[in-house]
Amino acid sequence: MMAMMFDLTGQQFGDYRLVRFLGAGGFASVYLGENVHIPALKVAIKVLHLINVDQVLFRREAETMVSLIHPHIVRLFNFAFQQETKIPFLVMDYSPDGSLLNRHPRGTQVPLTTVVQYVKEIAMALQYAHEQNILHRDVKPENILIGRDGKLLLSDFGLATLSKTGRISLQASYGKEGTPFYMAPEMFRAKPEKASDQYSLGVMVYE
């Protein structure tokens, strides 16, 4: 995780007010957001660390992510640009129970039956995305959230691709898309393929 350069809590992005900082990574900061018209409506707002964005290209890539509708993929509802700063942001379903990393801190022994169930759910999500010719590029415990019904939800599809539509405004926590510990060899050569996601899943299962 990288530290935030500044906290945007309290600011309004589109129809949403950022009410609490949830976390940050190399490409984005995530906040709990509430709809200004319906405060009970809570979402996750992912504010991308991008400037000088090609808005046409960004919209095209984001529309592809919006089209991913699957029981084990975090739903992306909308995307836009903050009016004053033109910073791009994503409006996503909020998972209050956190990620697999929160549920199983590093070093925890997870029962085999639980691992098998996890793999089934994540693999179904990857299979669906791969059939749409969409790669994840960063499968890891932090990017697998716990849904309200207890099912796993794969998050951050397309984030690495969206990051290429502009210039990174903060110092990324790593130089290439992906997280080194989980990256397949071809990812280090910037030549990801469907098998790269499978490799990352395999590393996560071993871990």
User: Which amino acids are annotated catalytic?
Assistant: 138
Q: Whole-angstrom Cα distance, residue 147 to residue 145?
A: 6
> For the residues of 8-37, what is the DSSP string, one character each?
-TT-EETTEEEEEEEEE-SSEEEEEEEESS
Sign of CA dihedral 140, 146, 104, 110: negative
Task: Kindly calculate the radius of gyration of the chain based on its CA atoms and give it in whole angstroms.
Answer: 17
